[in-house]
Amino acid sequence: MRTPPRLALGCALTLLLGCGAAGPAPSPADFPSRSAAQPPFTLSWRIDRDAERVSAVGLVDVGGYVDRLMDVTVELQGLDAAGQVVSRATTTAAPRSFSGDRTWPFTVRLHPTGQENRFALQVADFRWRIERTGGM
């Protein structure tokens, strides 16, 4: 008996996604910094530094908007002593799966100018899913 192509593709995709899992997903409690200043989003993150870049690694908690959001843009800003933005970088956070994840991982990397006194993280943008109504 021949396996239908769609069924075979679905099984192969399931196997590939299953093999990619490297352990439990991180939770907001795994990160030292937290910001809820931009409802409905809560950011949880840590700052990693090396000789050439600064990275913010964390999660966006999208609250009750899991099924309505397509993605969230996170911005890392380097601020000087006066609080002026002297460097910035963005990345897009999206769900890890199709199962309605409430927390979406992100990593944003910034090449500092050397003028940074501190770093700030914020939600810069987000996109809603386009939902078609009505039937054909």
Distance CA 44, CA 87 (A): 21
**pLDDT over threshold 70, residue 7:** no
Question: Which pLDDT tens digit goes with each residue over 47-102?
Answer: 999 989 999 999 999 888 778 888 999 999 999 999 999 999 999 998 877 667 88
Q: Evaluate whether 84 touches 57 at the Cβ level (below 8 Å).
A: no
Annotated domain spans of the chain? 26-128
Under CATH, what is the fold of the domain 26-128? Immunoglobulin-like (2.60.40)
Owner of token pair 């899913």: 129
pTM of the model: 0.75
Structure tokens at 56: 């913010």
> Which segments of 20-117 does DSSP mark as H helices, in order?
none
Distance CA 116, CA 75 (A): 15
Kindly state the DSSP code that residue 63 receives in the 8-state scheme. G
Indicate the SS3 state at residue 10: helix
